[in-house]
Structure 1
């Protein structure tokens, strides 16, 4: 059963059984651990709203009911190795492997389909370029895109990074792809989710150096947020632990409900190189038809290199564009970040902060997130972006 340690309560008997987890001070990382525990231990799949409204009494009822019907229950500690919950919040779904090697993908929106052909008059059409999260694939942005009133092109990161690759090379690839599809008659529109906020800001800087102007959206991400979260929340003690936690999670995503990962972390400790550990984990995992071994290997490596990029950030000069930050309302207090996630260091323009009751890994699914973006873009069409972005919404 979930215990008080997960939500920071030393003695669970001292609090009301009818108190919700939100009332008890649950933060986004705790929510991920709780969600993961229910899924992995009991095969119960809860939404972000379900978790927020759970009471201690309901948790006890659920777990008691299931434990009555099963003779064995895995422990939380064995299912969730140290640091893994922090990694999980950074990785969304991978989608179709065949689509992940494309440098970009148009996604269906409220006004356009997923074709590369313009559905509107080229001269009147605005395109939003989205930089996805750590995994770098468009699949995690599908639900957000469907609710947007603008054509959407997701710039994918590929999975071909090598140890000698770097942030500048990565952004240069993205820049070339974007420039071929950017309508010079309109301001640029960039959106970076989580890790995507890093390349997004660099792309904005490059575009402005060529005389373009525009607007930048950050969805629960910033250089400071990423560095603080990766350094602190994940509690990774060394690079090997970081690598092994990535292997653990990506194996779980590609081969769900397997029995191998119960002991995977312990066994990985005895294997030498990163490459050997990845290959060994793939080899002992149950056969699955969705993803190739090469894809799993390249995704693990790519996520690792991107985490290192976030920890050892290259300099990003200030941009002129206004920034709209849509972030979760409550983050762990030990992150000690300003309300604007330190984005004031990256723009001379105005910053709008919108606070949503949600979690890092699910905020893009929130209808309010899309509504905010649509509202800002509607004002931009009317030439009112600077006025809109001078106020703060919550």
Structure 2
């Protein structure tokens, strides 16, 4: 099972779901995992360890899921690829530095815009975004300045933007509140992290059995293309199978 963070285009169940009201609803990792556990439990055996691989924000979802499964008497192996609750929160606070909710929402749209339009074009609308009354209005303005052909090619839709906002908001406010995880946890971290964090990404606060911490050459994105990561993860699976 692979849980990952695929950004704007993702509509993965493991990632979350689209909210219809930004103000009244939130995406919470425990809600995601609670619904998922019911579906995957029929494929598990309490005699055979299961595997969960999580990348980026998916590590948070994965840890929540493995915690719920442990409560039901299952034992698993968690493989974390450059992520942990502390690391995800710290990196988001760095990438989307803000003092107000308005600044946070605008920072998200600024980040997304950097992939689809020039900085010069976006800065012309930045003040208007800050003055918009809420995220719904900001999304309307943001999408209006994206050329239709780019919007269609990148599948940029208001619904997806709201989903991204809610995921980031939930991650920023996330706190692991369950019992410490007993299952073995393997962390594969990037050599060039997004933020300075202790060697084990503070996993000792949520996990009792940290089997290994291995550094993979690359940054948060490029490590996914590093064949050494594939080999290292495969080795863990083969050793335990």
**How does the TM-score come out when normalised to structure 1?**
0.54
- Corresponding position: 1:241 with 2:121: no
Q: C-alpha displacement at 1:198, in angstroms?
A: 0.8
Answer yes or no: is the 8 Å Cα contact 1:344–1:351 preserved in 2: no
Distance 2:154 2:87 in 1: 31
Q: Which residue of 2 aligns with 1:213?
A: 75
Cα RMSD, aligned residues only: 2.6
Answer yes or no: is the 8 Å Cα contact 1:340–1:351 preserved in 2: no
Q: Which runs of 5+ in 1 are unaligned?
A: 1-128, 140-153, 382-394
Partner of residue 268 from structure 1, selected from 110, 124, 129: 129
Q: Which residue of 1 aligns with 2:57?
A: 195
Over 3 Å counting, the alpha-carbon distance change for 1:258 and 1:166 in structure 2 is closer
- Corresponding position: 1:363 with 2:223: yes
Q: Which residue of 1 aligns with 2:153?
A: 290
Distance 1:169 1:183 in 2: 20
Distance 1:138 1:186 in 2: 31
**How does the TM-score come out when normalised to structure 2?**
0.84
Q: Which runs of 5+ in 2 are unaligned?
A: none
Q: C-alpha displacement at 1:270, in angstroms?
A: 2.5
Answer yes or no: is the 8 Å Cα contact 1:134–1:303 preserved in 2: no
Answer yes or no: is the 8 Å Cα contact 1:134–1:194 preserved in 2: no
Q: C-alpha displacement at 1:217, in angstroms?
A: 0.8
Answer yes or no: is the 8 Å Cα contact 1:132–1:196 preserved in 2: yes
Alignment coverage as a number of residue pairs: 233
Q: Which residue of 2 aligns with 1:328?
A: 190
Q: Which has the larger radius of gyration?
A: 1
Q: C-alpha displacement at 1:170, in angstroms?
A: 2.3
1:172-209 per-position Cα deviation (integer Å, ceiling 9, x unaligned)? 233234335x3426321111111111111010011111
- Corresponding position: 1:350 with 2:213: no
Distance 2:133 2:6 in 1: 25
Q: C-alpha displacement at 1:224, in angstroms?
A: 0.9
Answer yes or no: is the 8 Å Cα contact 2:117–2:146 preserved in 1: no
Q: Which residue of 1 aligns with 2:4?
A: 132
User: Greater RCO between the two (CA within 8 Å, min separation 6)?
Assistant: 2
